[in-house]
Amino acid sequence: MATENSNKYPSFIYGTAWKEDATADLVERAVTAGFSAIDTANQPRHYQEQLVGDALLKLADKGINRKGLFLQSKFTPVGGHDHRIPYDPSANLTIQVKQSIESTFKNLHTDYLDSYLLHGPYSQTILGNEDWEVWSAIEDFYKTGKVKYIGISNVNIVQLELLTEKAEVKPMVVQNRCFANRGWDSEVREFCKTNRILYEGFSLLTANPFVLRNPEVQSISRKLGKTPEQVVFRFSIQAGITPLTGTSSEQHMKEDLQTMDFELKEEDVKLIETITG
């Protein structure tokens, strides 16, 4: 079941997209600051997964071992890559998934993943044959025990309902971009809550700069002695969203983790949930 390992599931995740050559240093800094969960993908166009692995080796030398970390990666369809494709694009999809995840194990110097996601469906609207074949291949890795959670990213409500209804192994995790003017992905989040699917949100700050500038949010932050960014992250946690942060600032890493040290009033959570512009 989706919640069977939920006591081990992280409350905050450090995201490594678009970090390029700084990836290893930033992952090391993030874990040193207190993050125990790292999100990556075997997609050289946007992620340097091998550099995440380099950071993990350095951290291991400092006594921070693999078992103390939560590692999440993704299978990216051919259309999401540039010329650097980490599998044979002429192979069938099942082989592509196998080659991609085995490359991820090598990149991260591990023999298992805590979470593995389909980076996005092949279709923008429904689920096609490609999606079902890839999901079946991901299910197979879950059955071997080499993946603890499986899920999907960049998914709409129709696709998620289909996958949950028809898949042999139901999705356990959803990772979506959250736009405040779309209710912070409220329809998908509500479905996840009802079906005991863990929900991760990314771009919580970058997609919603107007929320940070909102006078009421700024008033809440002043009263609590917290930054507007901390208030938004705390809101997300109380709203059932496991937040991702991709900050490159060591100070912001520490501040982000301090969101675990306070709570918002219920009326403040409801207020932020209704900000649309």
Closest CA to 138 of 90, 70, 51, 73: 73
**CA-to-CA distance for 246 and 35, rounded, in angstroms?**
11
252 is in an annotated binding site: no
- Element holding 148 (H helix, E strand): strand 147-153
- Element holding 150 (H helix, E strand): strand 147-153
Tokens 């991609």 map to which residue?
Answer: 100
**CA-to-CA distance for 39 and 63, rounded, in angstroms?**
21
122-154 residues labelled b (16+ CB within 10 A) or e (exposed): beeeebeeebbbbbebbebbbeeebbbbbbbbb
What is the DSSP secondary-structure string of 160-206? HHHHHHH-SS---EEEEE--GGGTTTHHHHHHHHHTT-EEEEE-TTT
Continuous H helices in the chain: 23-33, 49-61, 93-108, 129-144, 157-166, 186-194, 209-213, 215-224, 228-238, 250-257, 266-273
Binding site feature residues: 119
Binding site feature residues for substrate: 119
